[in-house]
Structure 1
Amino acid sequence: MIVKKGLVFDTQNYFSKLVKHKFKEDISFESYKDLEKFDKKNSDHSIIIFVIYSEYDFYNLMKVYNIGIPMIICAFNKERLIKLQRVENLMLLDASKILPEIIIQLRSYFVRLNIL
C-alpha cells in the first residue's frame, strides 16, 4: 500500500499531533511551525492542512495560498472561516467542533481528494 504524503502548518503543534495520530495508517504527515522552513515547491504532497490561530497565521496563509496543492484551512475562530468562504479552492474546517466531527470532516475531505 502506497502511503500518501501530507503537510501540516501548525504554529502551536496541537492540531498536527491529532492529524498525525488519527491518519497515520493512510497519510504520512510532516509538520511545520515556521513558514521559513515551509517549502512552497514541495509538490510531492497530496494535501496541506493550514491551521490558523492568529492574524499572523492568516497572513502566512496568504503567502502560500495557490501553490497548486489542495489545502484544508483549519481555524478555531468562526469569523476567520466566514472570511475565507469567499476564497476559491479552499476546504474549510471548523476546529471549534467536537473531535469526532472534526475527524469525520477531515476523512470526507481526504476521500473527496482521493487520498484515502
Structure 2
Amino acid sequence: MNERWADLHPGGLVEAASVMGLTKQAAARALKRGPAHLLIAELAMGPLYDLDAVEAWNMNRKKTPGPRLADSLRSATQAMQGMADAHDAYERSQTTVTVERTDQQPTQAAEIER
C-alpha cells in the first residue's frame, strides 16, 4: 500500500457526523464551512472525509448552538398569546350590545322614543 494513504482513516458523512457528535444534517453544514483538507474525495455515494482530520478540526472549531428549547417555547407561547389577544379584540369590535333601561316609567320611555 502507498505510504501516503497508510495513515488515512476515511469515512463518509455518517461516520464524520458520529465523530463530531452531530446529526448528519448538522455535520454536512459544518463540513461545508470547514477547511478543504478534510474532504478526500467527492464520490457518487457522497463525500469521503479524513476522519482523523475531522476529529482534530472539530475539537478546535467554534461551535455556536442553536436557540435553546425553552427560548423557542417561550417565543411560540408569546406569539400564540398575541394572536389570541388580537382575536379577542376583533370579537369585541364585532359585538353589538343592546341595553334596555328598566328604571323609567313606560310613559317616559315612550316620550323619549319620540
Q: What interval of TM-score do these two structures reach, taking the shorter chain for normalisation?
A: under 0.3
Q: Which has the larger radius of gyration?
A: 2
Structure 2 length as normaliser, TM-score? 0.27
Structure 1 length as normaliser, TM-score? 0.27
More strand by share: 1
